[in-house]
């Protein structure tokens, strides 16, 4: 199928697709937690193509605030009222900003500042794990492992902990195994090379 030519299908991400689609059918929000580069975003894009859903992506970062999220939601709701197809809203990297309470209201209560959200809109989000790193340093020839806690937390990612209201919807995306990682790397390398040769043949 030409739709899925550039996507690496594995048994693992196929099962994840099915589980996510089942949750979306029940209008249950999905929050995928996994390491950077494990395929969260590409999987959601593929689901939207296969299910013929209109995908609205909001890439969240530390500079995002309530105002920008509200503006985005106004546009999404307006689109939902104008078209007949379902819309899937994808909040990427939700725990990098300080607007977690608003995102929680949108995904859990399906409201934003008391405005209701149409049932034709479903929500998926992605986030990185909130975890600390073990740092190694040399002191007088000895290697000591330390955990930086309290005022000096050394996080693997620059993220905030998820509120309890969202924890119930977390879907552990996990990590890629070695064989799947090789397939992903080959796909990322071969695709631009193929496109380059196709362009030169014109």
Q: Average pLDDT by consecutive 10-residue portion of the chain (202 residues)?
A: 60 85 89 76 84 90 93 94 88 90 94 91 86 50 42 57 87 65 60 62 55
Identify any residues that bridge with 54 across adjacent strands, giving them in sequence order.
Answer: 87
What pLDDT was estimated at residue 141? 42
Identify the pLDDT of residue 132.
Answer: 56
The CB-based long-range contact list for 50-53 (8 Å cut-off, 24+ gap) reads 50/3, 50/4, 50/17, 51/21, 52/85, 53/85, 53/86, 53/87, 53/88, 53/122
- Check residue 148 and give its pLDDT: 41
- DSSP-derived 3-state class of residue 179: helix
Give the pLDDT score at 48.
Answer: 86
Nearest to 37 by CA among 194, 180, 199, 195: 180
Distance CA 114, CA 81 (A): 18
Residue 142 DSSP SS3:
strand
Dist CA 169 CA 161 (whole Å): 14
Tell me if 115 sits within 8 A of 78, measured CB to CB. no
Written as six digits, the tokens of 53 are: 């859903």
Residue 197 vs residues 93, 120, 194, 200: alpha-carbon distances, Å = 34, 42, 5, 5
**Cβ neighbour number for residue 7 with a 10 Å cutoff:** 17
Nearest to 47 by CA among 13, 72, 81: 13
Per-residue pLDDT, 71: 96
> Within 10 Å of residue 129's Cβ, how many Cβ atoms?
15
């Amino acid at each position: 199928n030409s739709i899925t030519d550039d996507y690496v299908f594995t048994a693992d991400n196929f099962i994840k697709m099915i589980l996510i689609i089942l949750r979306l059918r029940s209008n249950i929000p999905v929050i995928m937690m996994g390491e950077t580069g494990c395929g969260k975003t590409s999987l959601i894009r593929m689901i939207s193509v296969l299910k013929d859903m209109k995908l609205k992506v909001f890439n969240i970062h530390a500079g995002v605030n309530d105002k920008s999220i509200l503006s985005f939601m106004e546009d999404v709701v307006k689109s939902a009222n104008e078209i007949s197809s379902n819309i899937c809203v994808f909040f990427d990297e939700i725990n990098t900003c300080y607007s977690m309470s608003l995102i929680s209201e949108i995904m859990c209560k399906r409201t934003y500042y008391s405005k209701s959200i149409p049932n034709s809109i479903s929500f998926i989000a992605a986030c990185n794990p909130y975890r600390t790193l073990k740092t190694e340093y040399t002191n007088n020839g000895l290697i000591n492992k330390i955990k930086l806690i309290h005022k000096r937390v050394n996080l693997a990612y620059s993220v905030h902990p998820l509120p309890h209201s969202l924890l119930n919807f977390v879907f552990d995306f996990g990590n890629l195994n070695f064989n799947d990682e090789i397939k992903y790397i080959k796909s990322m390398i071969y695709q631009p090379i193929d496109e380059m040769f196709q362009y030169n043949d014109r």
